[in-house]
């Protein structure tokens, strides 16, 4: 999948979620904002209530989407025989899509009324969704191959080029300017000794100062605009790789701890969902079948 096709793919999934959410909210807004005691008299009650045609259908479809989202991604990730079916990154994005649309449908299925054992499943679903957003943030901080495989620290280090040799071979700089630029892209050990948020802020401001200093050095050497852009891009790439190396181990550890929160909530949600469906069937609630 090309970069353009991937962007279209993500845009379509996002637009579909927005369309479904907007359609349901528009159709049932007056019903959902009506008090619980008065909903029985609302003209849309028979359709939008949890056991109604639309309400019940949203519950069934939302549950199936979440089960599919979890199952398909887990199968693709854990079983080697499926490793050649698509890139894992795209499967993760489809997993996120299904596990975003599914909870939206389940939320409207409940008509915003939570109680009993189902409330545990609902809030577990909310916890899974929120932790999924956090997990996605952590996930994108970990360097990966184009197939979505997590890169090791040595692999990330191998991505670093020798900017000093590149400057010597392709750009004419005086010795002092060369040293200033090479020194500017080294990892600052003093920044790694502070807490994460302070380090992130310091890193941002330090990179800004570094780029300003590099541009000043390049201007002093009377280089062409194309050459200055080339060197600045090299420096930016080295800064990006330095940041990846610095945060790799931290993010890998956070990702391990994240599973401790995400998976148990997902299991609780699925178990209670199955119990809820079983009880619904036992008590004779049917949809269109």
Kindly report the three-state secondary structure assignment for every residue of 227-248: HHHHHHHHHHHHHHHHHHHHHH
For position 12, what pLDDT does the model report?
94
How deeply is 233 buried, as exposed, middle or buried, from its count of CB atoms within 10 A (0-12, 13-18, 19+)?
A: exposed
12 CB-near residues (< 8 Å, 6+ apart): none
Ramachandran bin of 98, using left for φ above 0, alpha for ψ from -120 to 50, beta for the remaining angles: alpha
270 CB-near residues (< 8 Å, 6+ apart): 66, 67, 70
0.75 cut: is pTM over it? no
Helix axes of 53-78 and 225-282: crossing angle, nearest 10 degrees: 120
Measured CA to CA, the distance from residue 52 to residue 72 in angstroms comes to 29
Measured CA to CA, the distance from residue 213 to residue 181 in angstroms comes to 8
For position 191, what pLDDT does the model report?
45
For position 146, what pLDDT does the model report?
47
**What sign has the CA pseudo-torsion 199, 216, 182, 167?**
positive
Tokens found for residue 269: 């949600």
How deeply is 210 buried, as exposed, middle or buried, from its count of CB atoms within 10 A (0-12, 13-18, 19+)?
A: buried
C-alpha torsion 131→132→134→140, nearest 10: 160
Q: What share of the chain is helix, strand, coil (3-state, %, to 5)?
A: 80, 0, 20
Phi, psi of 281 (to 5 degrees): -70, -40
For position 270, what pLDDT does the model report?
82
32 CB-near residues (< 8 Å, 6+ apart): 25, 48, 108, 111, 112
Per-residue pLDDT 10s for the chain (289 aa) are: 777 888 898 999 999 999 999 999 999 999 998 888 888 889 998 899 888 889 899 999 998 998 898 888 888 878 777 777 878 778 888 988 998 898 899 889 988 887 777 777 777 888 887 877 777 776 676 665 545 555 555 655 555 555 655 666 566 666 677 677 767 666 554 444 556 566 667 777 777 887 787 777 777 776 777 777 877 787 777 777 777 667 666 776 777 777 677 778 788 888 888 888 887 778 777 776 5
For position 154, what pLDDT does the model report?
62
Measured CA to CA, the distance from residue 64 to residue 68 in angstroms comes to 6
């Amino acid at each position: 999948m090309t970069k353009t096709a991937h962007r279209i793919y993500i845009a379509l999934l996002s637009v579909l979620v927005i369309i479904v959410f907007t359609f349901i909210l528009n159709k049932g807004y007056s019903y959902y904002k009506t008090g619980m005691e008065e909903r029985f008299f609302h003209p849309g009650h028979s359709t939008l209530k949890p056991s109604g045609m639309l309400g019940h259908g949203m519950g069934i479809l939302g549950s199936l989407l979440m089960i599919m989202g979890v199952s398909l991604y887990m199968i693709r990730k854990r079983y080697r025989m499926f490793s050649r079916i698509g890139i894992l990154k795209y499967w993760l994005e489809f997993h996120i899509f299904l596990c975003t649309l599914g909870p939206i449908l389940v939320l409207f299925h409940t008509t915003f009324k939570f109680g009993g054992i189902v409330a545990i499943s609902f809030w577990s679903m909310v916890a899974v969704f929120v932790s999924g957003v956090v997990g996605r943030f952590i996930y994108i901080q970990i360097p990966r191959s184009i197939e979505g495989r997590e890169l090791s620290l040595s692999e990330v280090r191998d991505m670093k080029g020798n900017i000093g040799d590149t400057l010597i071979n392709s750009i004419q700089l005086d010795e002092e300017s060369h040293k200033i630029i090479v020194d500017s892209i080294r990892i600052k050990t003093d920044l790694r000794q502070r807490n994460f948020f302070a380090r992130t802020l310091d890193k941002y401001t330090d990179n800004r100062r570094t780029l300003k200093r590099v541009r000043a050095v390049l201007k002093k050497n009377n280089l062409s605009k194309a050459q200055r852009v080339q060197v600045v891009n090299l420096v930016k790439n080295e800064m990006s790789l330095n940041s990846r190396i610095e945060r790799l181990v931290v993010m890998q550890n956070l990702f391990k701890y994240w599973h401790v929160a995400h998976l148990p909530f997902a299991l609780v949600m699925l178990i209670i969902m199955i119990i809820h469906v079983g009880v619904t069937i036992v008590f004779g609630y049917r949809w269109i079948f």
